[in-house]
Amino acid sequence: MQQSKVINILKKDLNFKDSSVEKLKKFVKLVLSENKNHNLIAKSTENSIWHRHILDSAQLVKLIDFKSVSLADLGSGAGFPGLVIEIFNKNKDFHVKLYEKSSVKRQFLSRVIHELDLNAEVCGDVRDEVLDSDIIVCRAFKKLEQVIQVSREIAKKPHKLMILKGQNAQEEINNTFKTKKYSYKLVNSITNDKSKIILMEID
């Protein structure tokens, strides 16, 4: 899917404003430029960055209550999905925290936040930080079992968990929930017929 098609979906289906789309264009340029020096995203996905990374991240905005106070992105990497969500966000009181253990990626995230004037904060490894957000999102972070463990053991209060997963989502759920059951909801991804978004409420 080409950039123009993705932008059309962002505007019409996900309600991204023109100003937010312009910030996304700058963000993409920064990612691709930095990717020449450091491996922020797989080289094989550079040509499909708008579909594979931007749209994949952006679809979460339909599931997020932006009246919440804060959102945490675990293993943020190049800023997917955290920075895309923040670029969409229109609530000045809504705060995004990006947890990333790589110092190179943290430096990049800080640069993007500064250059695009975003309301986001860069944090280190989630296991060394305070995790107190209302919503926790992650994409290509860890296996589901480990995400739930981090969510339950480190997060300081009840929260919503949103996990972007590939075609093995149901299999991973079945394996993870063999001993302990959690209530969850599966939402179809708009970028891939077989991919899913796992939604959970953690008390």
User: What is the per-residue pLDDT for 167?
Assistant: 85
The CA-atom distances, in angstroms, between 81 and each of 152, 178, 180, 181, 203 are 21, 29, 28, 27, 23
User: What is the per-residue pLDDT for 203?
Assistant: 84
Q: Is the pLDDT of residue 181 over 90?
A: no
> Which residue is listed with tokens 């990497």?
77
Burial 89-104 (b: 16+ CB within 10 A, else e): beeeebbbbbbbebee
User: What is the per-residue pLDDT for 170?
Assistant: 87
Q: Which residues neighbour 19 within 8 Å (Cβ) at sequence distance 6 or greater?
A: none
Regarding the domain delimited by 60-202, which CATH topology (the fold level of the hierarchy) does it fall under? Rossmann fold (3.40.50)
User: What is the per-residue pLDDT for 53?
Assistant: 97
CA distance 32 to 56: 17
Q: What is the mean pLDDT of the chain?
A: 94
Q: Is the pLDDT of residue 179 over 80?
A: no
Kindly give the pairing relationship between strand 70-74 and strand 95-99.
parallel
Q: Is the pLDDT of residue 180 over 80?
A: no
> Which residue is listed with tokens 């789309």?
21
Contact 10/61 with Cβ under 8 angstroms? no
Q: Is the pLDDT of residue 138 over 90?
A: yes
- pLDDT category, 177, cuts 50, 70, 90? confident
- pLDDT category, 59, cuts 50, 70, 90? very high
| Helix boundaries (H) for the chain | 3-12, 18-34, 49, 56-58, 82-88, 103-116, 144-154, 169-176
